[in-house]
Structure 1
Amino acid sequence: MSYPQGTQHHLPVQDAPKPRKFGALAWTSLILGIVGLVGSPIILLNNLTAVIAGVGVVLGLIALFGSRKILAGIGVVLCVLAVVATVVAQNAAVKALDEAFNGTTNEGTVSGGDAKADAVKSPPTWDQRYTWENGLAAEVSAPAACTPGEFAIPSDVARGVKVTVTVVNGSDKPFDTGLLSAGGETQFAGKKAEKIYDSSGACGDSALATATVLPGKTFTYDLAFAVGAEPGELQITLQPDFGADKAIFVGQA
């Protein structure tokens, strides 16, 4: 005896899911890019995160040939931005450190004579007033000839000149002139000009007299320098404290 066979139903065969090619690399690139961006503003640490971002760029470029192209592209972009941000942050840090240790130059205002001038383009000269941001100001008089005495230091001076420095305290706090760096970077005709120490002669002692200048008050003292026998350009640098803006007075002597 035979029995009728029922209709057989076959389940459709499902294709096995295709593995996502380089998917892990795409995700890794994205994560490294995020880490690189987060670490880019942090000095010292950003050296490490920049290297990590560089690795992320390589992995992301490889992953672009896989199935996660959009994800890999985002990872590459983030990694490149992280490297760029790190370079910008480090350059800014170097500039800030340089200003902190060496100070800026002639970023204050100059007045005297005709009108205010741009100190960067037109450095202050004799009898002009240079004003720092906090209101402290200084003037340097035109150099006058002086003859060093027998016991002056240095002893082999071809020609001596003397200037008068006037400190004007336009700030709201007392100023200690002992903080003022004056004469250490003086140049004449492109060469270093030495201070003259001549306590018993006409040039006088160039050691800075320490004084506290109250707000609204002034203080003056003399500096003498050994210069060449022939007239030339004299450059005198004043700096009110370590790392502050430098006022460079330039003129003939």
Structure 2
Amino acid sequence: MIEHPNLRLANLLDRRADGHEPAPEAVLTALFEGGVFVPVTVTGAVMFLPDEEQPPTLLGFTDAALGTQLLPAAAGMVHCDAARLRDILEKTGVAVLGVRSGNGQAIFPEQVLRDWATHGPGAEMKLTWSTDPVAVALRDALVRRIREFPAVRSVWVAQVRWPAGGEEHLMLHVAVDEDLPSASADRLMQVLLGEEVKLGREHPKVAMLALNTTAHADAIAQLDRHGLDTVRHDVASGQVRVISREYDDPPPAPTDGAAPPSRDRRQWFGRTRR
């Protein structure tokens, strides 16, 4: 059995105690590259918390000795690499993974874990501007609703593609002025997908990644260089600014000499943008 602790993950989580918030991508990459130690019973079954009547929480520790110290009820600690974590996710329906290091911790919702398990550890993803009707509908909905979330500063709407597998979906990167995990970003997604944009089977999946405006300033600057549809919210003035190539690039001139079509109205998902 592997006994080597996941030092990279432990270091990232421990730094949180000193006020340094690591990028979510870095933590997830370290998790799937180095794995964690999972508590098991005397029969070898994986232990979950809190009980069978609630959505299961899987516990993970960056060090086997740490796990034994913090959870003496466990019969042992089993190292789980990316493949074993993926297997647990698929077979148990785990809702949350809680990982502990010596001085820090991280909570991963099941959807984030499943996405990363699907695409593999350290999977490269490419972000591009999207004209998909769902992407445009999300952008327009953000213009209408972003003022309701004072902690949200900017949202980027992107088409995400993993070159290794070719899978694509839409992703919202949400910059917030609050600690992560962000309740404001989660609530914003609930409003967008619950009240504004109704997704059907034929529509692309939509994911969200929250970023802290201070801790992830470098990642935010990089997003600005991708030329994505962006909705910015200035809380002091209440102004909402939309940045989009759609508005920068003029429409092609009609061949019959008629006036170019107006862009003041566009119908998406039963809603009209004015």
Relative to the length of structure 1, the TM-score reads 0.25
Relative to the length of structure 2, the TM-score reads 0.24
Which of the pair has more CA radius of gyration?
Answer: 1
- Normalized per residue, the structure richer in helix is 2
